[in-house]
Amino acid sequence: MSDLDIRTVTDDDLIEISRIHLAAFPESALTKLGAEAVHRYYHWQLHGPHDCFAIATFGENQTLGFCFGGVFRGALGGFLQKNKKFLFWRVLLRPWLLFNEIFRERLKTAFRSLRIFPTKKKVKKTSILSNPVSSFSILSIAVDPAIQTKGVGKVLMKAVEEEAIRQGYDRIHLTVHPSNTNAIQFYLRVGWIKNEEDPWAGVMYKILSAGELS
Ligand SMILES: CC(C)(COP(=O)(O)OP(=O)(O)OC[C@H]1O[C@@H](n2cnc3c(N)ncnc32)[C@H](O)[C@@H]1OP(=O)(O)O)[C@@H](O)C(=O)NCCC(=O)NCCS
């Protein structure tokens, strides 16, 4: 799997990215809101006030997987703020979602992120220079379920870690739902470490070394 075609994601890839998200995260709140919501979410990550490094792997004219990494400023809060009318109608047309425990949990997180999301003015002023504690994270990684466990995820992760090293970061982090045991096994296998805390909230990190650059 090391000879995979890897490219930076553009708007033209978002339909395929959404397809993989829907298939790889069937229980996510975003998936339950439909393909258009997923498309808008990743569009915001590409065009919001982030330093986003998004890549995808391709094989025989098909997208196999993707990874969005980088420094994100309001990945969820900004998305909600920008799409609030659209999302309001989506929930209104799917009222049964409010009875779904996972969805309600995500909704609570979403409201919390809205409270901490800075206003447009503040986001413009916040740059990587004025915010030295900004850190590189993995926002989302997914492989088409038809081709999982064949090495695609590892290739994507390696490419994003190498980009973080190139940008001067020596540490990278992510948050995974503690019940997502498959993803946790994958992260542990590719060298990630669970943050020490009790109870563990799903934060993982990896110490990067410039010697790993290929
Ligand atoms: C998590 C995910 C991205 C991993 O991608 P993948 O292509 O299936 O993983 P790889 O085949 O590259 O696996 C790399 C290594 O992890 C191991 N691994 C992967 N999944 C594993 C599992 N569930 N249990 C144990 N080991 C696992 C592989 O055996 C491999 O080990 P090796 O290097 O010794 O051969 C993919 O399974 C996925 O899309 N899952 C659904 C979406 C998701 O949960 N994303 C994470 C959200 S935080």
Compute how many other C-beta atoms are within 10 angstroms of the C-beta atom of residue 15: 12
152 lines ligand 1 (CB under 6 A): yes
Alpha carbons within 13 A on the beta-carbon side of 195: 16
Residue 86 domain boundaries: 5-212
The pLDDT value recorded for residue 120 is 52
* 152 C-alpha to ligand 1 centroid (Å): 8
The CATH number of residue 46's host domain is 3.40.630.30
Ligand 1 pocket test target in 30, 106, 186 with most atoms within 8 Å of CB = 186
Cα separations (Å) of 139 from 58, 70, 98?
20, 8, 25
Nearest CA to ligand 1 atom 5: 153
The pLDDT value recorded for residue 128 is 37
**26's tokens:** 């069937």
CA distance 137 to 125: 21
**102's tokens:** 């996972």
Q: Say if residue 199 is preceded by a cis peptide, omega within 30 of 0.
A: yes
Nearest CA to ligand 1 atom 40: 142
Total count of domains within the chain:
1
* 141 C-alpha to ligand 1 centroid (Å): 10
Pairing between β-strand 171-175 and β-strand 203-207 as defined by DSSP bridges: antiparallel
31 lines ligand 1 (CB under 6 A): no
Asked if 156 and 20 count as a contact pair (C-beta separation under 8 A), the reply is no
The pLDDT value recorded for residue 87 is 92
The pLDDT value recorded for residue 132 is 40
Q: To 5 degrees, how large is the angle CA 207–CA 208–CA 214?
A: 155
Averages of pLDDT over each 10 residues, the chain, 214 residues: 86 98 94 96 97 95 95 92 93 87 80 63 44 77 97 97 96 95 98 94 93 71
Pairing between β-strand 171-175 and β-strand 136-143 as defined by DSSP bridges: parallel
Q: Please state the atom number of ligand 1 nearest to the C-alpha of residue 149.
A: 11
CA distance 5 to 148: 16
